[in-house]
Structure formats: C-alpha cells, structure tokens
Amino acid sequence: MNHIREDILMEFADGTLMPEQKKEAELHLLQCNECREELAMYKSLNDLLTASNIHRAPDEMPDEVMRRIEFHRSIMVRKAKSRNTLIRFGSIMFGMLAAIVSLGFIFGTPSGKDTGFQMPAFMMNAVSYMQSLKLTINNPVILYGVASFMIIMITERIYTGVKHRKVTASTIFGVKNP
Amino acid sequence: MNSDENNWIKACLEGDTASFRMLVNTYRHLAYTLAVRITKNTEDAEEVTQDAFLKAYTSLAGFKGESKFSTWFYKIVLNLAMSKVRRRKPGHQNIDELNLQTAADSESKQKTERTYYVEKAIGSLPDDEAAIVTLYYMEDQSLDEISKVVELTVTNTKVKLFRARKKMAEMLQRELKEDLYSIL
C-alpha cells in the first residue's frame, strides 16, 4: 500500500488541503494505522508550536523604545537646526557675492577710470559676449539689474528647496506640475 | 493592514510619536519571539527588538503599504537578528543555558518542559528555517507573507517549512517519546 506523502500529511494537519486531496487522504487514513500515527504526530507538533510560540517581551520594553525614539528625535531636531543655520549662512554669503558681482556689472567700467571700479576680466568677457549677440537691451543698468535679481531669486529658491529636501527644477524656477 | 494600524502609522508620520507606542504594544511579543529564535539569546533578542522598533520608526515614511505592516516589520527584525548573529563573537550563551521566559511560565511543569524541548528543537534549526517556523505559527502570517519576510519564493519557503517541521518532529519524537502522541 502506498502511504500518504509527508508534505500532504502536514497540510492535512494544518487543514490547508484541497477538498479532493483531503477526501482521498481520509479514505487512506481509514485503513492505514501508520499514516494515522504520523498525522497524529504532526497535529501534536502543530499544537506544541502554537502553544509555545510566544516569548513575552519585557514589560518595560515599550517605555525603553519610546525613550530611545524621543532621544533620536531630539538629535534629529538639533541636526536639522544646525543644517538650516549652515544653509542660511551659505545662502547669505552667496547672495552677498551675487550682489557684489552685480554691482560690479552695474557700476564698473573696463578701465575703472570713470567710477574707480575696474571690471574683472570675466565681466568684460561677458559684456563683449553680450555685445556680440547684439542684444536689444542697451541700458546696462536694466540688464545687470535683471541679472542680479534672478541670481537672488535662484538663491532663495535653492534655500527653500534644500530646507524641504526637494531641490528640483520646479523648486528653483517655480515651475509647478500641471 | 487593519484600520487601527493604518491610523497609527498615519499619525506617526504626522509627528504623533505616542501612536507608535500602540504599534510597539501590538508587535513587541511577536518581534521578540522571532528575535529570540534567531539570536537564541534573550539579551540579544531584546536589543534587536528595540533596534528594530527604532529602525521602523525612522523608516516609516518608506513603508508604502504594499505589504502588511507586520510583514515589513518582521523583515526588519529578521535582518537585524541575522546581522547580530553574524557579528557575534565565539562562545556566546546558548539557548540551553537560558532561563526561558515563555508564555508557559505560570503553567504546569510538564508544559514548561514541553516548551523547553520545542525551543531546543527550533534552536537546532538553521536560522532561516527557525524564522519560517516561528512566522508560520504566528497569527495572520500566510506562506506568501513569510516568503516576503525571508526573501524566498513561496515554493522554497514551503520546502524549508516542510524540512524544518520534519526535523523538529524527529527530534521531539526522540525527546518526548510517547508524550508527543498523548498531547491531543
């Protein structure tokens, strides 16, 4: 006589056999003492494992976990504060640099004779490049004013983006998804 | 995921840490049991369980609800327990030497003895099989969910469960003899 496979007996003990397989197994179990004993053993094993499956965690564990979470939170808040201070300081420095560069564009001249402020080489290159493009805006005050305004706006956007950990084109240029 | 759990998680993400205590209260025994079965040491298991809760708290925003919270959380417990075992120095305390504090503590001596042999049998299994057996007998854990926790296919999980139960049955038969048949 072919005995029932052990995995089938385990599933029988778990009560997860398909109805047809279960019926077939039941018919065999009626006439096979060996399989009945094996099934009884797996049922006992299930009972043993179910009954002894839980280890009780110490009662003070929830308090200890919450204490650690509060500690972690306080560290994260401190870190966030110092990160924000650093970002703010960096933004101010960048903004000031942008303002100085813009003032150079606005009031400086290539020779420095008229205003006492000589344009650095890169500014002169930029001016000649724009002249080569034959831009219609001839008034340098307007042109450089717009440029410095854009630099300051981008700085502010980067600051906001970093603060909320989202630096994307949309945070920098204010483009919203449709 | 049940609606209470869903609400607790949502509240946690909105900054209400007290809601996390509800999750700790719900899962501490099951997480601790899984950790004990893998580390085979109650002190390590306690540390692993606490670390797992802290990790779950800090990574909660990454929980997308694609699986049950328990499945996601047990995976954290299992990974931390496994890495604890890997980092362990030789000569650690074995489960045989532990004063097992189980649910059967207050019950009869005979039942405590049976529990001891069950723990010993689980302790003799490889870590992954011990985890599968533990999870299988925990509430609400289907084979599909267990396979996600142990990162195996359902078929492989089923095969490992079969092997583990066979080994345990043989071992318990030796240790408990007729007692195993008389439990029913």
CB-CB contact of B69 with B5 (8 Å)? yes
Alpha-helix residue ranges (DSSP H) falling in A108-139: 121-132
Q: For residue B96, is pLDDT > 50?
A: no
Nearest alpha-carbon partner for B103 in B23, B44, B36:
B36
CATH of domain B3-182: 1.10.1740.10
ipTM reported for the complex, 2 dp: 0.77
Q: How far is CA B59 from the centre of its chain?
A: 20
pLDDT tens, position by position, A79-117: 888 888 888 788 788 777 777 766 666 665 555 555 556
Q: Which residue out of A65, A70, A166 would a mutagenesis test of the B interface target, given it has the greatest number of B Cβ atoms within 10 Å?
A: A65
Q: For residue B115, is pLDDT > 80?
A: no
- For A155, counting Cβ atoms within 10 Å of its Cβ (0-12 exposed, 13-18 middle, 19+ buried), the class is buried
pLDDT tens, position by position, A45-83: 888 887 766 788 999 999 999 999 999 888 888 888 888
Chain A CB contacts of B31 under 8 Å are 57
Residue B172 confidence (pLDDT): 83
Mean pLDDT for the stretch of residues B133-157:
87
Q: Residue A128 has which token pair?
A: 């000649």
pLDDT tens, position by position, B6-22: 888 888 888 888 889 99
Q: Residue B66 has which token pair?
A: 């694609």
- For B67, counting Cβ atoms within 10 Å of its Cβ (0-12 exposed, 13-18 middle, 19+ buried), the class is middle
- Contact: A42, B173; criterion CB under 8 Å: no
Q: Residue A171 has which token pair?
A: 């945070």
Chain A CB contacts of B100 under 8 Å are 55
Give the integer Cα–Cα distance in Å for B61 and B72.
12
Give the integer Cα–Cα distance in Å for B41 and B45.
6
Chain A CB contacts of B24 under 8 Å are 61-62, 65-66
Residues 6+ apart with CB under 8 A from B56: B23, B63, B72, B73, B76
Residue B80 confidence (pLDDT): 94
Q: For residue A6, is pLDDT > 90?
A: no
Residues 6+ apart with CB under 8 A from A63: none
Residue B108 confidence (pLDDT): 58
CB-CB contact of A4 with A25 (8 Å)? yes
- Give chain B's length: 184
A41 touches chain B (CB under 8 A): yes
Residue B103 confidence (pLDDT): 43
Q: For residue A15, is pLDDT > 80?
A: yes
The residue ranges of every structural domain in chain B are 3-182
Shortest Cα distance, chain B CAs vs residue A93, angstroms: 33
- Contact: A54, B169; criterion CB under 8 Å: no
- B104 pLDDT band, cuts 50/70/90, is very low
Q: For residue B171, is pLDDT > 70?
A: yes
Residue B59 vs residue A134, higher pLDDT: B59
Give the integer Cα–Cα distance in Å for B72 and B59.
11
Q: Which residue from B32, B118, B168 is facing A57, i.e. has the nearest CB?
A: B32
CB-CB contact of A143 with A135 (8 Å)? yes
